[in-house]
Amino acid sequence: MSLSRTLAIFVRQLFLLKSNPTRLVSIFLWLIIDIIQWGFISKYLGSLGQATFGYVTVALGAIILWEFMGRIENGIMMAFLEDVWSQNLINFFASPLKVREYLGGLILTSITTGLAAFLAMVAVAGAAFGYHVLRIGFLLLPFMLILLLFGIAMGIFVSALIFRLGPSAEWLGWPIPLVLSIFAGVYYPVSTLPATLQTCAKLIPPAYVFETCRAVLAHGTLPVDFAWNLLAGALLSLAYLVATSLLFVGVYRKNLESGTIARFNAEAL
């Protein structure tokens, strides 16, 4: 695996952003709008009743972390779609570039844009609502790592679906974060869900992150299952990452064998 070829994919994406700054809108604009909207909603809900904790801190922090994971997923998917729309995919794989190096470049691009979006969201939340990202201290780092790995896995999964089914399968990628949020406990505790859905939530790594974050912020202490939640979330994320990477490589090889990759462009499919 060549690091220089992986970096070449990454640098190409940077040049695409530089050549067309309007692409930055898809990275930052909607995230900022979401933070402002949810910030005011959280502030209003926190003013109702007799809340025993900072509702803005709990809700807005969860939204920022969830949007971070969604940006990681979308970063990989959009970078892949960029090559599909420009009908450039076949050119990459006609070169010595390996599929692992290509995926590595997409992941590096996604991490860079995802972290930039995260910093922008934190800055807006801090300026507008007084939100402090390190409210739970450096425990934020392992939580973000779990969401990062899972976001990468979901991005690769969606890209594999598009690679297999064609550009028309793009619509499958957009609702995935919304669907997963039902089980992940982003907006409410997992205990709110019916028993069947709670079982499904145990298979979603973000559920362990948000349940733990909510417990820490609400009670100010680590829950008894803190270590287990981190371990379960991390192992599940790694398992999904390995599985989706193998899926993408398998789809790539299948397309080579069938010759589909030679016809893989926006017009033919």
Chain segment 143-162, per-residue pLDDT in tens = 999 999 999 999 999 999 98
CB 91 within 8 A of CB 26: no
47 found inside a domain: yes
93 found inside a domain: yes
* Cα 236 from Cα 207, distance rounded (Å): 11
The distance of Cα 144 from the centroid of its chain, to the nearest Å, equals: 10
124 found inside a domain: yes
User: How many domains is the chain partitioned into structurally?
Assistant: 1
Whole-model pTM over 0.85: yes
46 found inside a domain: yes
Write out pLDDT tens, residues 198-221: 999 999 999 999 988 888 877 767
Over residues 94-98, the mean pLDDT reads 82
Residue for token digits 């499958």? 172
What lies within 8 Å, CB to CB, of 122 at 6+ separation is 64, 131, 133
151 found inside a domain: yes
Q: Where residue 46 falls among pLDDT bands split at 50, 70, 90?
A: low
Over residues 68-87, the mean pLDDT reads 87
268 found inside a domain: no
Terminal CA-to-CA distance of the chain, rounded, Å?
30
pLDDT value of position 262: 67
33: containing domain: 3-263
* Cα 117 from Cα 137, distance rounded (Å): 20
90 found inside a domain: yes
* Cα 209 from Cα 184, distance rounded (Å): 8
* Cα 79 from Cα 155, distance rounded (Å): 10
Burial of 180 (0-12, 13-18, 19+ CB in 10 A): buried
* Cα 102 from Cα 94, distance rounded (Å): 12
Token readout for 109 is: 């691009």
Over residues 159-173, the mean pLDDT reads 83
* Cα 220 from Cα 189, distance rounded (Å): 17
Helices (H) and strands (E) in the chain, counts: 10, 0
269 found inside a domain: no
Q: Where residue 57 falls among pLDDT bands split at 50, 70, 90?
A: low
Hey, what amino acid is at 118?
Answer: F
pLDDT value of position 152: 95
In the chain, beta strands by DSSP E: none
